[in-house]
Amino acid sequence: MTPAVSLGDMSDNDDNDTRKHASQELLVRITHVEELLTHLQRSLQEISDVVLGQQERSDKIERNLAQLTEQLRAMSEPDAADADLEDERPPHY
């Protein structure tokens, strides 16, 4: 024979089942949040790597621009020897 179950015992079982279900649901939600966090951390690292690469490229472009600007400035400034030649009259005058 099975022992008689009182209404109080049934209520306790329902409470336990509800707590177990809530606990399992919470565990599922926490696991989902942890998975999202891991994905976001990976994405953040990838973005950080891309930004670092772009900064390195930007720095290199700035250095190249500075060199080219200096070269252009040097080419456009008249040399002292060139200035003397411009002031001379051609020999046939």
Q: Using one digit for the tens of pLDDT, what is the confidence trace for 57-68?
A: 999 999 999 999
Q: For the beta carbon of residue 16, count every other beta carbon within 10 angstroms.
A: 10
Average pLDDT for residues 70-85, to the nearest whole number? Answer: 78
Q: Pick the residue with more confidence: 62 or 1?
A: 62
d(CA 58, CA 70): 18
The structure's pTM equals 0.55
The model's pLDDT over 23-60, given as tens digits with 9 standing for 90+, comes to 999 999 999 999 999 999 999 999 999 999 999 999 99
d(CA 59, CA 86): 40
